[in-house]
Amino acid sequence: MKFIKYLTTSLLSGMMLLGIVSCNKENDDPDDPKPITSIDQLVVSDNFNYDMVQPFNMRISTKDIYNNPIQNAIVYIYRSFDEETFEGDLMLTGKTDTDGVWETSYPLDFVTTQLFVVTRYVGLPTVTEVAVQNSSFDITIGGSAGLQSQLKGTYEMQAITAGYLYLCAFNNLGLPACLINPRDVINASMLADINAALPEKAPVPQYHPEYLAENNQTDTRIIEDAEVWITFVHEGAGYKNTIAFYTYNLNDPPLTKAEIDTIRVIFPNLSYYNSGGGLYSGDKVKLGTFPAGTGIGWVLIANGYNGTSVNTNAIHFYSNPAFNPETDPAKQQHNVLLYDAERQLYLIGFEDITRTSSGCDNDFNDAIYYVTSNPIEAIDNRDMPFVDPNLIDTDDDGVFDVMDDYPADPERAFNNYFPGRNKTGSLAFEDLWPLKGDYDFNDLVMSYQINQVTNADNLVKDIVSTFTIEAIGAGYKNGFGFQLNVPPSTIENVSGFNHQENIVSLNQNNTEAGQTKATIIPFDNTYNLFANIASGFVNTRPEMAYVQPESITVNATFNNAQTMAAVGLPPYNPFIFINKERGKEVHLPGYAPTSLANPVYFGTEDDDTNLASGKYYKSKTNLPWGMHLPEQFSYPQEKKVILDAHLVFGQWVQSSGFSYMDWYQNKQGYRDTQYIYSKGN
């Protein structure tokens, strides 16, 4: 795989960094975790709120190599990403503005070490790997950074198989020494047209079938004596592809591959600088001067560059469809040849894997370059489709259908998942508040995934929240809600909730009545989500039969789309209310109660909530009644204290979160599995 790597700038103070390093060196030995065996032994800072995620700010700029902004570029942020399959755990999707910038903020756990910024934009590197440090990153994709160092290295003419020649020497990155200076100008306007013509993941047979018409040219035909150049535009591939050519007499073309005299390698490695190669969009090579009547056939050697030379045994794809390996004539064409009359150039796009393969996306932009000549009329442009910048945008929202998650809906464009498309978070509550309880954190355990649906301007139109009740370790019949930072009047409607107990009063838009902030109640009694749980316990006692978890999906739609900052960060302000008593709310530590919380309980029994000082839902010894975890929680069995099941939880707490940030993960020395509930029990 090829990634552009960024190391983000540290924003923490030197003192904080020293504190983290010191704590880690002293305490982070999983083989000797110095276990704390009693909740009452914990010494917890007043300022510790048991946070396992933090707001993470991201700023992404997209630029051409002249540092002009590229607007309307679709950008994706993944937790994990495989460039060969183009799949991964998607978090966020957005579009750059007129300044070529997309800024966003999202909750991120403290243990993630890297993210992957993916652009589906011809002319920009596909994948940028970002090392996560602290609470933000600010990166530029594209731009002129690094241009000065492009030609460093030793250039040599390597040996190659008979029947092949290199056009010129090249360095260890596969960068040819015969690049022309200055490079061609490929500005943002030109890239916008090319993106519409050959966008990422847009199958040409579906979006531009005219490019594959039977009589279209795919080779280049020279009809007057001419100088000919090719210019690199883009590579949208995980491979280190090689681009080559061969020539022939138009009146006597080769009928088989064996009749090709010599294949000349132009770009040994058609890969971006800092992404497995050394090229920038606009890098140009002169092929030579050719007489009238010359045909130029193009060859892509898939993943042909091996780090030192070209592997001529790798699979070849030719601009002559008959030379390609597919037996179905409809799948044999591997390149498209388009005429850009305005700029007087000929755009070529290649597909770099067998088109009968299930992994083939048929977007014909795994390698994109263009051909120019002097004179331009020397190239025959008959039977050649034009570069078409009018890709389908059904809802006319400025996002092409192929990149629009809601192509027929102008109010919606992108899905944004927390904690990830393939990942769930967890909420775990104790329900004896204001009494301390047994601290098994299984009275109510829910996994969740939240999708913030945004429009083409990156504003939130819907919040689609799925909560799955994994465990109920209580006789109490508890309800659940969450509160956003916006007024109830911003909500158009809430749907999907389950209310059966006449506990909750609703506004006309189905937000909870009597609240100053929009409050959504997915269910008012967790028992009602199951067919029969008369015992009061679900999946906490190993001696009892496993119960299939039940899910509920709630959709909150805004009247007018909101900024993510205005709405608040997922999972917002979640809480339970205990045993059908609406005012008896339990929130995460540090989260304020809603307007309907009954203040009579604050400061009673073990609770030390103090509204005036901003201390919420912590005990007199700063213990919580709720926790939010950034992944699925392996929770304790009934009556087993969390310290017994998760052996380094205490060290994490006492370090105020600086040690054992990953305490909830299944690492050596972190768990005593006999105390953790398992479906297999």
pLDDT in tens, 303-328: 999 999 999 999 999 999 999 999 99
Q: How many CB atoms lie within 10 A of CB 516?
A: 10
In a domain, 456, yes or no: no
Model confidence at 1: pLDDT above 90: no
Q: Residue 22's pLDDT is what?
A: 34
DSSP 656: T
Mean pLDDT of 569-589: 97
Amino acid letter for position 611: L
> Tokens 């770009």 identify what position?
267
Model confidence at 658: pLDDT above 90: yes
The enclosing H or E element of 570 equals none
Model confidence at 196: pLDDT above 90: no
Q: Residue 24's pLDDT is what?
A: 39
Model confidence at 652: pLDDT above 70: yes
Nearest to 154 by CA among 183, 177, 178: 177
pLDDT in tens, 337-371: 999 998 999 999 999 999 999 889 999 999 999 99
pLDDT in tens, 54-84: 999 999 999 987 889 999 999 999 999 987 7
In a domain, 262, yes or no: yes
pLDDT in tens, 389-426: 677 889 999 998 889 999 999 999 999 999 999 999 99
Model confidence at 152: pLDDT above 80: no
Residue 30 banded pLDDT, cuts 50, 70, 90 = very low
CA–CA gap between residue 50 and residue 441 (Å, rounded):
14
In a domain, 646, yes or no: no
In a domain, 105, yes or no: no
CA–CA gap between residue 138 and residue 189 (Å, rounded):
24
Retrieve residue 491's tokens: 């909500």
Model confidence at 177: pLDDT above 80: yes
Pairing of the two strands 537-538 and 626-629: unpaired
In a domain, 36, yes or no: no
Q: Is 323 helix (H, G, I), strand (E, B) or coil?
A: helix
Q: Residue 64's pLDDT is what?
A: 86
Q: Select the more confidently predicted residue: 70 or 200.
A: 70
Q: Residue 28's pLDDT is what?
A: 46
In a domain, 517, yes or no: no
CB 486 within 8 A of CB 559: no
* Sign of the torsion formed by the C-alpha atoms of 249, 252, 257 and 260: negative
Model confidence at 662: pLDDT above 50: yes
> DSSP letter string over 7-30?
EPPP-S-HHHHHHHHHHHHHH--T
Among the ranges given (3-12, 137-146, 333-342), the one the predictor scored with the smallest mean pLDDT: 3-12
> DSSP letter string over 117-150?
EEE--TTS-SEEEEE--TTEEEEEEESSTTGGGT
Mean pLDDT of 426-439: 96
Please give the residue range of the domain that contains residue 292.
161-378
Q: Residue 16's pLDDT is what?
A: 37
Q: Residue 2's pLDDT is what?
A: 52
In a domain, 296, yes or no: yes
pLDDT in tens, 463-495: 999 999 999 998 899 999 999 999 999 999 999
In a domain, 225, yes or no: yes
What end-to-end distance do the CA atoms of the chain give, in Å?
Answer: 41
pLDDT in tens, 590-603: 999 999 999 999 99
DSSP 113: -
pLDDT in tens, 502-512: 999 999 999 99
Q: Select the more confidently predicted residue: 396 or 30.
A: 396
Mean pLDDT score across all residues of the chain: 91
Q: From start to end of 455-531, where are the E strands?
A: 460-473, 479-483, 491-495, 519-523
Q: Residue 5's pLDDT is what?
A: 59
Q: Residue 122's pLDDT is what?
A: 86
CA–CA gap between residue 577 and residue 176 (Å, rounded):
68
Model confidence at 534: pLDDT above 80: no
Q: CA triplet 331, 333, 334: central angle to 5 degrees?
A: 110
CA–CA gap between residue 265 and residue 280 (Å, rounded):
18
The rounded percent of the chain whose pLDDT value lies above 90 is 77
The rounded percent of the chain whose pLDDT value lies above 70 is 93
CB 144 within 8 A of CB 274: no
**330 to 15, 209, 214, 423: CA distances (angstroms):** 65, 11, 9, 39
Q: Residue 369's pLDDT is what?
A: 97
Q: Read off the pTM.
A: 0.85
The enclosing H or E element of 57 equals strand 53-63
Alpha helices, DSSP H only, in 152-202? Answer: 188-197
Retrieve residue 108's tokens: 């991120």
Among the ranges given (36-45, 239-248, 498-507), the one the predictor scored with the smallest mean pLDDT: 36-45
Number of domains in the chain: 1
CA–CA gap between residue 405 and residue 407 (Å, rounded):
6
